[in-house]
Amino acid sequence: MSIEYMLYESKLATTEPGAHTARVRPTFTADLDAVAEIIVQRGTTVAKADVLSVLEDYFTVIEQFVQQGANVNTPHVNYGASIRGLFEGPLDGYDPARHQIVTRLSPGARLRKFAREHLVAEKLDPVAELAPLLLRYTDRNSGTINSVLTPNGLGEIEGRRLQFDQDDPEQGISFVGADGTVTPAVVVGRNMPSELSFLVPDLVPGVYTLQVKAPARGGTEVRTGELKAPLTVM
State how far the Cα of 141 lies from the Cα of 150, in Å rounded to an integer. Answer: 7
* Residues sharing a CB contact under 8 Å with residue 26, sequence separation 6 or more, in sequence order: 135
pLDDT for position 27: 79
Phi, psi values for residue 225, rounded to 5° = -115, 145
- Supply the DSSP symbol for 148: B
Of 168, 193, 177, the residue nearest 231 (C-alpha): 177
Smallest CA-to-CA distance from 28 within 3, 63, 55 is with: 3
Q: Residue 217: which pLDDT band, with cuts at 50, 70 and 90?
A: low
191 DSSP β-pair partners: 196
Buried b (16+ CB within 10 A) or exposed e, 180-201: eeebebeeeeebeeeebbbbbb
Domain parsing of the chain, residue ranges: 128-233
> For 95-133, b where at least 16 C-beta lie within 10 A, e where not — what string?
eeeeeeeeeeeeebeeeeeeeeeeeeeeebeeeebbbbb
**pLDDT tens per residue, range 87-108:** 999 999 999 999 999 999 999 9
Going edge to edge, which strands form the sheet with 188-191? Answer: 144-145, 133-139, 154-160, 195-199, 188-191
Residues above pLDDT 90, as percent of the chain: 74
CB–CB of 76/107 below 8 Å?
yes
pLDDT single digits (tens) 174-215: 999 999 999 999 999 999 999 999 999 999 999 999 999 999
**Fold held by 128-233:** Coagulation Factor XIII; Chain A, domain 1 (2.70.50)
